[in-house]
Amino acid sequence: MLIVSLFRLSSKNINRAITNHHFFQDPTMSEPIQNNVNEEPDFGKRPKAKSSRRTFLISAGVGVLVVGIGGKLGWEYLRKNVTAIAEKRAPSAKVPDEPFAWFTVNADNTIVFHVPKIEMGQGIHTSLAQIAADELDADWNTFHVVQADTAQGFDGGTQNTFGSVSVAALYAPIREASATVRETLRQAAARRLNTTAENIVAKNSVMALRTDATKRLTYGELVAGQQGKWTLAKNAPLKAAKDFTMIGKSIPRVDIRDKVTGRAIYGLDARLPNMLYGAVARAPRYGAKLKSAQAGEVATMKGVVKVVIENGFAGVVAERRSIARAAAALIQCEWEGGVTQSQDAFDALTHVPDDKNNAVAIQEHGSVGEHRAERDVIAQYKTSIAVHAHLEPQAALADVRIKGKIVEGITIFASTQTPSMVCSMVAEALGVDKEKIIVKPTYSGGGFGRRMGFDVGVEAALLSRAVGKPVHVGWTREEEMRYGFYRPPTHHVLRGNVGSDGKIATFEHEIASGDVLLSFASFAGGAVAGAVADAFGVDPGALVGALSEYDVPHLRVLSHRVKLPFLTASWRGLGLMPNVFARESFIDELAHSAKKDPMQFRLEHLPDTELGRRYRAALEQVKKMSAWNTPPEVGRARGVAFCLQAHTVAAQVAEVSVTDGRLKVHRVWAAVDPGMAVNPNGAIAQMQGAIVMGLSSIFHEKISFKNGIAEAKNFDDYPLLTLPQVPDITVELMTSSDVPHGMGEVGIGPIAAAVGNALFALTGKRMRELPFALEALA
């Protein structure tokens, strides 16, 4: 029999969290001036909840990296046979043995749901809470969603938020945990009411006698009435879909009121009493190491508290943020090494080589070599280096508490996608045991892959340790543009031909991409990890979206790894946008070479598989939505593209015009099959947002290096798409399953090809670079 202490009754912190309706564990402010994330740092007061090693299969490691393109597979499998990956499902996580990691039930019948995943705009707090509240039969009005910190008991990687896998991976575990709590409470109610569990009905956080609803106990009363050990219900049944009250409904998001009133707290907003501000000296070249530094006059500047120079790091703690920044820039630093090249060098590196010896075939059947033909269509596509441009700069508030010279504990408030990575990196940088560190994730002002671990939490912790007070570090936009990491540049060579039967005979796609996921190992993991990464030879992140969906007899997709001297890594969708842009534009080229309607051409090349049927359904749906067979008004044209990512199928049609050489995207229609949507309106928002982000890459986004540093310093050099350029977007969701798939990224896949294909239909000009060479339209 499994016995655990199931419920922890309300603590002061939780009550405060409830007062604030949701979110922070130790939140803030009814009066703005008291905007402290944590009036009394609670490190050490709260026992660290331990969950069993079996808690989750999803944890940091190789398996996770592969989730991005579809399955829990080893590297060797990936290298040898990626063809089937797209059809595999994401690994399912297991329910924790201790559901109290998820819930706190209070005597007043409020329930706190400790949500492990980070809210960075994707609506995950709401979606996961819907799942929990539904299966728990909880009263939504008294159900509070609170961001879990790293002491809550979720194992390492569970909190890391990436790859559109949050809902898919946690759907079953949360339902199982919730059902277990519900049935445990039902059994307790049966004992208290002298009946059996079958006679108890659960609804709105109340257990009532089926035959006499006046005989009832709230969940809070049940918990308050039984302190100490609880025996968990075994094999708690899950609800049937027909009984869902929350799952599948467009429940309003739990975070939005705070986000329109200015109350929501992000990393850059985190405050503690007596806090100071930090800034770090930056190199003139990317990746240059600090050789030596002299504080000089900076140490005596008014408002400077301390200049911190240690182990290749130079920074300033000051009373004001502006003083810290000005002072950090004045530290006399000598730098060595780092990047010296300019953009032409990186363009030359990012190139599909003639030599195929180091290429890895990630998808291959038939024999493309034997079926090349005179009539082959050959085309090259390219995508640029880009930044994430999340609008909240990297930010962390570190509170390192020291007694004598010993670090007693560290609390870090940060907008991060990877709290456990922050924990590990701070532990390593400060030489402190991880057990002494609590990371409290805040809301994130966008993430898009840039808030993976890294830098700012470590910077704040080093500075805080030096002064023994809380120190806040918030990056400037220039730091964001120049000292973070980048979306890798890619180059694609595609070759294929269509036979006399109108069917594609051969299709080849060679991809050269900078690293996406291996880079973390190469740059952050030191020489050994770098060597291991080299041995893999293929970066699974760069290959998201690389597999061809089409039924073609002779097909090959080759990957070439491009090693760049600056850090390229995760960006929304990873390889999805470049790979789908290249393939779906090239399929359009093949369709035109065969004088076929591009929509019909796609429909004629879909495999007769379950996936193939989902592709067909999505394409037929978007065909209908866009009235594809009815020509658009004069001066406009439409293009279509589709893709698969995180098991979700997205098909899009774009309608464009060109006036005075200027591209205008008027409409985008999207048909999306995410299996099923937990929150349909939230899923639609993700599709709309991903389309807009993709359009921004079409119109604008490009980073270039000069003498080892990005040329762009701010948005004047790197503009984003704004409202006047945004089309009407119509999204329809389709249901094909009883489980949800990913929604955060898939929409960014097809849009560039859909718009490019429309432009070709209109003008005969083919866009083969991201951003588009729009000057060619003039």
What are the DSSP E strand ranges found in 426-489? 437-441, 471-474
Give alpha helix (H) positions in 438-562: 456-467, 477-483, 518-519, 526-536
- For residues 149 to 188, the per-residue mask of contacts with other proteins, x marking binding by CB under 8 A and - elsewhere, is ----------------------------------------
Residues 558, 360 contacting (CB under 8 angstroms): yes
Residue 321 as a binder of other proteins (CB under 8 A): the answer is yes
Choose between 245 and 688: whose C-beta lies nearer to other proteins. Answer: 688
Distance of CA 501 to the CA centre of its chain: 43
Minimum CB–partner distance for residue 716 and other proteins (Å)? 6
Minimum CB–partner distance for residue 131 and other proteins (Å)? 18
Considering only the stretches 28-36, 136-144, 352-360, 587-595, report the one whose residues sit in contact with other proteins under the rule CB under 8 A. 28-36
Choose between 681 and 704: whose C-beta lies nearer to other proteins. Answer: 681
Residue 128 as a binder of other proteins (CB under 8 A): the answer is no
Instruction: Look up residue 699 and give its two tokens.
Output: 């119109």
Considering only the stretches 140-148, 190-198, 284-292, 473-481, report the one whose residues sit in contact with other proteins under the rule CB under 8 A. 473-481
Q: Is residue 733 classed as helix, strand or coil in its secondary structure?
A: strand
Residue 330 as a binder of other proteins (CB under 8 A): the answer is no
Considering only residues 526 to 585 of the shown chain, the ones binding other proteins according to CB under 8 A are none
- For residues 436 to 465, the per-residue mask of contacts with other proteins, x marking binding by CB under 8 A and - elsewhere, is -------xxxxxx-----------------
Q: Is 100 left (phi over 0), alpha (psi -120 to 50) or beta?
A: alpha
Distance CA 753, CA 129 (A): 36
Distance CA 334, CA 490 (A): 34
Q: Which of 429, 611, 720, 777 binds other proteins (CB under 8 A)?
A: 720
Kind of pairing, strands 313-318 and 769-770? unpaired
Minimum CB–partner distance for residue 417 and other proteins (Å)? 12
Minimum CB–partner distance for residue 196 and other proteins (Å)? 43
Give which of 150, 148, 108, 190 is closest to 22, Cα–Cα: 148
Considering only the stretches 69-77, 315-323, 346-354, 378-386, report the one whose residues sit in contact with other proteins under the rule CB under 8 A. 315-323
Cα separation values, 239 from 137, 182, 206, Å: 10, 11, 17
Minimum CB–partner distance for residue 25 and other proteins (Å)? 18
Give which of 265, 246, 390 is closest to 682, Cα–Cα: 246
Residue 482 as a binder of other proteins (CB under 8 A): the answer is no
Q: How many residues bind other proteins (CB under 8 A)?
A: 65
Residue 662 as a binder of other proteins (CB under 8 A): the answer is no
Considering only the stretches 42-50, 491-499, 509-517, 715-723, report the one whose residues sit in contact with other proteins under the rule CB under 8 A. 715-723
Residue 227 as a binder of other proteins (CB under 8 A): the answer is no
Choose between 204 and 250: whose C-beta lies nearer to other proteins. Answer: 250
Kind of pairing, strands 504-514 and 554-562? parallel
Residue 273 as a binder of other proteins (CB under 8 A): the answer is no
Q: Which of 40, 428, 728, 738 binds other proteins (CB under 8 A)?
A: 728
* The one-letter amino acid at 7: F
Residues 574, 587 contacting (CB under 8 angstroms): no
Choose between 255 and 508: whose C-beta lies nearer to other proteins. Answer: 255
Q: Which of 723, 764, 775, 778 binds other proteins (CB under 8 A)?
A: 723
Give which of 421, 572, 624, 426 is closest to 68, Cα–Cα: 572
Minimum CB–partner distance for residue 477 and other proteins (Å)? 5
Residue 737 as a binder of other proteins (CB under 8 A): the answer is no
Give residues with Cβ within 8 angstroms of 724, minimum separation 6. Answer: none
Cα separation values, 769 from 280, 492, 639, 703, Å: 36, 10, 17, 14
Residues 543, 580 contacting (CB under 8 angstroms): no
Choose between 499 and 719: whose C-beta lies nearer to other proteins. Answer: 719
Place of tokens 């909190």: 159
Distance CA 153, CA 136 (A): 20
Distance CA 143, CA 125 (A): 12
Minimum CB–partner distance for residue 450 and other proteins (Å)? 11
Give which of 439, 447, 392 is closest to 414, Cα–Cα: 439
CA angle 441-444-445, nearest 5°? Answer: 160
Quick one: CA torsion of 688, 690, 695, 700, rounded to 10 degrees? 130
Written as one string, the DSSP assignment of 426-455 is: HHHHHT--GGGEEEEE-B-S--TTTTSS-T
Place of tokens 């006059």: 297
Minimum CB–partner distance for residue 259 and other proteins (Å)? 3
Q: Which of 9, 12, 30, 32 binds other proteins (CB under 8 A)?
A: 32
Phi, psi values for residue 80, rounded to 5°: -90, -30
Distance CA 753, CA 91 (A): 30
Place of tokens 């670079």: 769
Minimum CB–partner distance for residue 736 and other proteins (Å)? 25
Choose between 392 and 549: whose C-beta lies nearer to other proteins. Answer: 392
Residue 715 as a binder of other proteins (CB under 8 A): the answer is yes
Minimum CB–partner distance for residue 697 and other proteins (Å)? 11
Handedness of CA 734, 738, 741, 744 (dihedral sign): positive
Considering only residues 665 to 694 of the shown chain, the ones binding other proteins according to CB under 8 A are 681-682, 685, 688-693
Minimum CB–partner distance for residue 274 and other proteins (Å)? 13
Minimum CB–partner distance for residue 442 and other proteins (Å)? 11
Residue 238 as a binder of other proteins (CB under 8 A): the answer is no
Phi, psi values for residue 492, rounded to 5°: -130, 135
Considering only residues 243 to 272 of the shown chain, the ones binding other proteins according to CB under 8 A are 252-253, 255-266, 268-269, 271
Considering only the stretches 349-357, 383-391, 425-433, 595-603, report the one whose residues sit in contact with other proteins under the rule CB under 8 A. 383-391
Instruction: Look up residue 83 and give its two tokens.
Output: 């063809």
Q: Which of 3, 213, 391, 776 binds other proteins (CB under 8 A)?
A: 391
Minimum CB–partner distance for residue 577 and other proteins (Å)? 14
Residues 703, 717 contacting (CB under 8 angstroms): no
Minimum CB–partner distance for residue 200 and other proteins (Å)? 36
Distance of CA 637 to the CA centre of its chain: 33
Say if residue 771 is preceded by a cis peptide, omega within 30 of 0.
yes
- For residues 33 to 72, the per-residue mask of contacts with other proteins, x marking binding by CB under 8 A and - elsewhere, is xxx-------------------------------------
Minimum CB–partner distance for residue 410 and other proteins (Å)? 22
Minimum CB–partner distance for residue 482 and other proteins (Å)? 14
Site residues (CB under 8 A) for other proteins?
A: 29, 32-35, 120-123, 252-253, 255-266, 268-269, 271, 277, 320-322, 389-393, 443-448, 474, 476-477, 681-682, 685, 688-693, 696, 714-716, 720-724, 726, 728-729
